[in-house]
Amino acid sequence: MNDNFFCEGVDKAPQRSLFNALGHTKEEMKRPLVGIVSSYNEIVPGHMNIDKIVEAVKLGVAMAGGTPAVFPAIAVCDGIAMGHRGMKYSLVTRDLIADSTECMALAHHFDALVMVPNCDKNVPGLLMAAARINVPTVFVSGGPMLAGHVKGKKTSLSSMFEAVGAYTAGKMSAEDVEEFEDHACPTCGSCSGMYTANSMNCLTEVLGMGLRGNGTIPAVYSERIKLAKMAGMQVMELYRRNIRPLDIMTERAFQNALTADMALGCSTNSMLHLPAIANECGIKIDLDMANEISARTPNLCHLAPAGHTYMEDLNEAGGVYAVLGELNKKGLINTDCMTVTGKTVGENIAGCINKDPETIRPIDRPYSETGGIAVLRGNLAPDSCVVKRSAVAPEMLVHKGPARVFDSEEEAIKVIYAGGIKAGDVVVIRYEGPAGGPGMREMLSPTSAIQGAGLGSSVALITDGRFSGATRGAAIGHVSPEAVSGGTIAYVKDGDIISIDIPNCTITLEVSDEELEERRRTMPIKHKEGITGYLKRYAQQVASADKGAIINS
C-alpha cells in the first residue's frame, strides 16, 4: 500500500503547498495520513475529556509512523435534551454524524481513521461512517462515568430522573432530590449504567472495532489514556495489513453483537442502531433475529437501571471479554471473526476470566435463560416493538389493562405528575415516532415519573417513540408502523384493553378487526405543525423504527 496519497508527483504539488500551510514537514507528508474524528465539546459530560483522549491517539499514531490530523464530530447530550423539544434533535444527529464524517474523510483522502466517540448517537453514527469510508479504522471511546453515591449507595442518572418522579408523587423531599442532583453524576464520562452510550461502546468492542476495555474502562482512569495511545498505534498496524471495517463488521460479527447485547442487557436503542450500522455494511438484520438469539442466550448482567451494578463494576469483573468468555462456554460466540487487534475474537478472549460472578453471572447461573431484550408483535405492532425485558418487574412480564392515550410526551407527563395514572393502566404515547415526532424522542421523563410514583410494577407504557437506556419497567417502544404512518397505535382509544405477553413476544389491542377498520375510516391521522429545517427533511426521508430509522435513499 502506498503512503500518503499526496506525497509524490507534480500533480499533487498544489495539495502539498496547503500541507505546508498547515506546518507539515516533508517527512510528515510521506507518512500515511490518519484522520482522528474528535467528538470533543464542552456541553456533553461524556465528551469533555475527549480532548485528552485525542491527544493520546495523536501521540500513538505518530509513534507508529503516521501523520495524525484531527477533525470534529457533533454530539448531543440526551440527558440535557430530555423532556423538551431538544430531544427531537438527538436521534437525527446519527445521520448528520455519519454524513459529515464521510464527507471529511473522503474529501481529504485519509489513509486510516481513529474514531473517538462516546455518547448515544455519536457511536453508531461513526460506525456507520466507518463502514461507508472503509479505510483501516479503530474506535476508542471517552469512557463511562463513575457511579454517584447517595446515602451510602451507588447511584446514577436514572435514579436522578426517578427522584423527580418520587418528589412529584410526594414520596421524596426537595432536600433529597437536591442530594441526588449534587451526587448522581460525579465525573466526566458517559452515564454510569448500561444505558445507550455504554451499550454501544461495549457492542463496538464485540463487533471487533474497539480494543479491549473500550466499553468499560472509566473515563477518569489513566488506563483510558493508555488505551487511546494503543488505538493510535494499532490503526497503523491495520493500515500496514490492510484490515478494513468491512473485513471486521461481517454478518457473523453482528450475530456476536446481538448475542452480547442479550447477555449484557443493553439499551433497546441497540435495536435501532445495530440494524442501521449493518445496513451500511450491506447486511440486513431482521428483528426476528433478535428473538431467535435471545431464546438461546442467557442474560448474565443486571447493570443499572436493571440492577445495582455499574460500568466500573463490569470493568473490574473482566469487562466485555469476560462476558464473551462466559458465552463461549456454550458455543454462543463466533470466535473466528477478525477484530482491530489483528486477531480473532477467539484469540482475544483466550484466558479471560470472570472475576466477579455477581456482576457477570456464570453461564450456568444466569439471571434468566433468555436475553435482555424482546421484540414483540401483534395487531398493535404488526411490524414489531421492543422492550428491555431484563429491566421489567417479574409481575409485569404479562399484563392486561385499559389504555390511557396521549398524542405527545408533554400531554402524558402532565397527567402522570398530576397523579392521573392508576395501577393497571397502560399508558400509550403516540405521534412520537421517527417521522411523527419527528425525531423519535426518548421517554425517560414519563417512565421515571411512573417509577418514582411507585407504579413501576403495575403500569405499562407503550410508544412509537423510544426509551432511554436508563429506563426500567414495562416500557415498550419502537411501535411500528408508527401513528403518523397509519399504524394501529393511531387508532387506540381510552379504555381499550391492551394485552402484553413479553415471554411469548406478543402485544394485542383487544378490539375487533371490524372496529379497527371503522376507526381507520373515521379517525384522522394527526400531523405536527411548524416543523421546519433539518427536522422537516428528516421526517420526509426517515424509515420506520423496525428498519433502524435509517434515511431512505
Q: With beta carbons less than 8 A apart as the criterion, state whether 185 and 145 touch.
A: yes
Query: Which residue from 183, 247, 211, 169 is spatially nearest to 60, judged by alpha carbons?
Result: 211
- In a 13 Å sphere around the CA of 313, the CA atoms on its Cβ side amount to 22
Please name the residues in contact with 314: beta carbons below 8 A apart, sequence gap of 6 or more.
Answer: 194, 216, 301, 303, 320, 359, 360
Pairing of strands 153-155, 148-150: antiparallel
Mean pLDDT of 360-377: 97
Instruction: Find the helix or strand (DSSP H, E) in which 337 lies.
Output: none
Q: In this model, does residue 547 exceed pLDDT 70? A: yes
268-317 tens-digit pLDDT: 999 999 999 999 999 999 898 999 999 999 999 999 999 999 999 999 99
% of the chain residues with pLDDT over 70: 100
Q: In this model, does residue 131 exceed pLDDT 50? A: yes
Q: At 279, give phi and psi (nearest 5°).
A: -60, -40
167-213 tens-digit pLDDT: 999 999 999 999 999 999 999 999 999 999 999 999 999 999 999 99
Burial level of 207, CB count in 10 A (0-12/13-18/19+)?
buried
Pairing of strands 112-116, 137-139: parallel
328-342 tens-digit pLDDT: 999 999 999 999 999
Q: With beta carbons less than 8 A apart as the criterion, state whether 112 and 69 touch.
A: no
The per-residue pLDDT for 506 is 98
Q: With beta carbons less than 8 A apart as the criterion, state whether 285 and 316 touch.
A: no
Q: At 222, give phi and psi (nearest 5°).
A: -65, -25
Mean pLDDT of 364-371: 96
424-439 tens-digit pLDDT: 999 999 999 999 999 9
The per-residue pLDDT for 115 is 99
% of the chain residues with pLDDT over 90: 96
Residues in the chain: 553
Q: In this model, does residue 393 exceed pLDDT 80? A: yes
Taking the CB of residue 513, how many other CB atoms lie within 10 A of it? 8
The per-residue pLDDT for 469 is 84
- In a 13 Å sphere around the CA of 292, the CA atoms on its Cβ side amount to 7
- In a 13 Å sphere around the CA of 427, the CA atoms on its Cβ side amount to 32
The per-residue pLDDT for 553 is 76
pTM: 0.96
pLDDT band per the 50, 70, 90 thresholds, residue 88: very high
Mean pLDDT of 100-128: 98
Catalytic machinery residues: 468
The per-residue pLDDT for 339 is 98
The per-residue pLDDT for 1 is 45
Tell me which amino acid residue 76 is.
Answer: V
pLDDT band per the 50, 70, 90 thresholds, residue 123: very high
Question: Rounded CA gap, 193 and 78, in Å?
Answer: 14
Q: With beta carbons less than 8 A apart as the criterion, state whether 443 and 465 touch.
A: yes
